[in-house]
Homo-oligomer: A and B are copies of this chain.
Amino acid sequence: MAKQKKAPRPKAIPPKGFRDYFGSEVTERSHMLSQIAEVYHRYGFDALESSAVETVEALGKFLPDVDRPNEGVFAWEEEDSGWVALRYDMTAPLARVYAQHRNDLPTPYRRYAMGPVWRNEKVGPGRFRQFYQCDADTVGTASMAADAEICAMLADTLEAVGIDRGDYIVRVNNRKVLNGVLEVAGLSGDDKEEERGIVLRAIDKLDRLGVEGVRALLGEGRKDESGDFTKGAGLDDLQADIVIGFMEAGAATGAETVANLRNLVAGSSVGEDGVAELEQIADLLAAQGYGPDRIIIDPSVVRGLGYYTGPVYEAELTFEVKDEKGRPRNFGSVAGGGRYDDLVKRFTGQAVPATGVSIGVDRLLAALRMKGRIKSDAQGPVVVTVMDRDRMADYQAMVGELRQAGIRAEVYLGNPKNFGNQLKYADARQSPIAIIEGGDEKANGIVQIKDLILGAKLAQDATLEEWKARPSQIEAPRADLVAAVKKMLADQDADT
């Protein structure tokens, strides 16, 4: 590290859009990811950790022939590799890895991946440029059993991390059905791309706008509450009826929904293919006991990404939260995915069918926190205070014994002069217990054990009787330190 010669002091901030995660923010996420990994592993998926940096050409979103790649990724030029970038998702790297190692990997290849991805996008409240994703994909099989399996695994995963059955729903649709519906509605021509885009976006807004709002967008257009006008797709009533019929084709069981869809796409071969695929998925899931309380066929699922070619699916958390204006709404989507049969082909020229899901780690973690399902290990350490700085070895011996017994513990390492500062430190550390051994205690072979949690509680709202009934500080023989601390921790646990 070169010396800074009178250079101005650097600013102590991360780059715009980046943040740091502290203590339980890190360990809670890590715990959730290991629960997820356990489910994925049981389903036969293998871990993969690909490099964080990829060549821009392998990521495929950007053309390397411009001086500076488009925004969206963090990219730069390296002498020996050309333009490289931080991965923006886990799917593009998987396609590269599979194309590179396909002769050594089993086929089909089931893999999971978890880690940070980076997006060079606009920053907003709660929107950061580095965030976690957790993906599972099956590469190398066109079987609908692979899609059904991932939907089932997604449901199992949500329950494994602590989302109750009834608080989530996995919705499944199929791009081909959608394409079939558009064909039947006369919107399949190359000249209809703009209309198709408007229709997809309109379907995606069903939740928010209701059927009549969507119908307006399918027709001439719609004026919103603020008076802004959104141009519609210009469909006539018959065409709009077909699209609306599609959106409303969802029924109580997968079999009924499939029957409704089959009627709608009659005559479109791509549509009929799509319905047959949905039917296979519905049958497989029904046979495995994944009922409509967990997974449903839902024609309103669109999913944004352009590369999906067949089944698409997403997991929504259905319990209610308040939005920023205090209005109730569903928590919303925490995972999504689908079948993308063309990503590996970019590299190899051969079609390699694949399907997979990505969990939004931060959103799922936020949901678990909201539901009180995070068992936090945030408890601070037992703090051994320093009454006599020349006896640091004595205090170190105490924490040594406590740690040996599996108890999180530390010696106060700041300036010990002011004892109040030591207790303030213990407070900042959320310590449950402080240990005190001054000269008198040492001479008498005892230690003081201070119950900081009870102390805080008593300080707040205790009656005189409570004060007397249970002292927040006890004396114990030095030799009984570990046993006494263990007992106090157990009492605290029992209280909460």
Query: Interface residues, chain A, CB within 8 Å of chain B?
Result: 1-2, 4, 7, 9-16, 18-27, 30, 34, 37, 41-44, 46-55, 57-58, 60-61, 63, 74-76, 78, 80-81, 84, 86, 92, 96-97, 99-101, 106-108, 110, 116, 118, 120, 129-130, 138, 140-141, 143, 145-146, 148-149, 152, 156, 283-284, 286-289, 305-307, 343, 346-349, 377, 380-381, 392-394, 396-397, 400, 403, 406-411, 413-414, 425, 428-429
* Inter-chain contacts of A143 with B (CB < 8 A): 392, 413
Inter-chain contact B44/A408, CB cutoff 8 Å: yes
| B63/A7 in contact, CB under 8 A | yes
On whether the beta carbons of B107 and A414 are closer than 8 Å, the reply is yes
A14–chain B nearest beta-carbon distance, Å = 5
Bound form: Cα–Cα A183–B58 in Å: 56
Most buried by B among A97, A143, A409: A143
Given contacts A11-B58, A42-B403, A409-B42, contact A48 B74 (CB under 8 A): no
CB–CB A18/B51 < 8 A: yes
Task: Point out the residues of chain B lying under 8 angstroms from A10, CB to CB.
Answer: 55, 57-58, 60, 96, 346-347
| Shortest distance between the CB of A394 and any CB in chain B (Å) | 8
Residues of B within 8 A of A138 (CB): 413
Residues of B within 8 A of A392 (CB): 143, 145, 284
Query: Can you add 18 more A-B contacts, CB < 8 Å, to A18-B53, A20-B48, A42-B407?
Result: A1-B343, A9-B349, A10-B96, A13-B96, A13-B100, A16-B78, A20-B97, A22-B47, A27-B41, A43-B408, A44-B380, A44-B408, A107-B425, A110-B410, A140-B414, A284-B392, A284-B396, A288-B393
Contacts of A396 in B (CB 8 A): 145, 148-149, 284, 287-288
25 pairs of residues in contact across A and B, judged by CB atoms under 8 Å: A2-B60, A4-B60, A9-B346, A10-B347, A11-B58, A12-B99, A13-B55, A15-B55, A15-B81, A22-B48, A23-B47, A30-B47, A34-B34, A42-B407, A43-B408, A52-B52, A52-B116, A53-B74, A106-B428, A106-B429, A110-B410, A283-B393, A287-B393, A287-B394, A288-B393
Q: Tell me the minimal C-beta distance from A434 to chain B in angstroms.
A: 13
Q: Is the CB of B44 within 8 A of A81?
A: no
Enumerate chain B residues within 8 angstroms of A101, measured Cβ to Cβ.
20, 22
Chain B residues lying within 8 Å of A146, measured Cβ to Cβ, are 413
Residue among A10, A107, A152, A400 with the highest chain B CB neighbour number at 10 A: A10
User: Which of B75, B76, B289 is the one whose CB lies under 8 Å from A75?
Assistant: B76
A84 to B15 alpha-carbon distance, docked (Å): 7
The CA of A471 and the CA of B105, in the complex, are separated in Å by: 30
Contact among B50, B61, B80, B409 for A16, CB-based, below 8 A: B80
A51 proximity list for chain B (CB < 8 A): 14-15, 18-20, 130
Cβ of A107: which chain B residues have Cβ within 8 Å of it?
414, 425
Residues in B with CB closer than 8 Å to A400 are: 152, 288-289
B residues within 8 A CB of A55? Answer: 10-11, 13-15
Which residues of the partner chain B approach A284 to less than 8 Å between Cβ atoms? 392-393, 396
The answer to whether B22 touches A96 (Cβ under 8 A) is no
Q: A408 — nearest CB in chain B belongs to which residue? A: B42
Q: Is A46 a contact partner of B58 (Cβ separation < 8 A)?
A: no
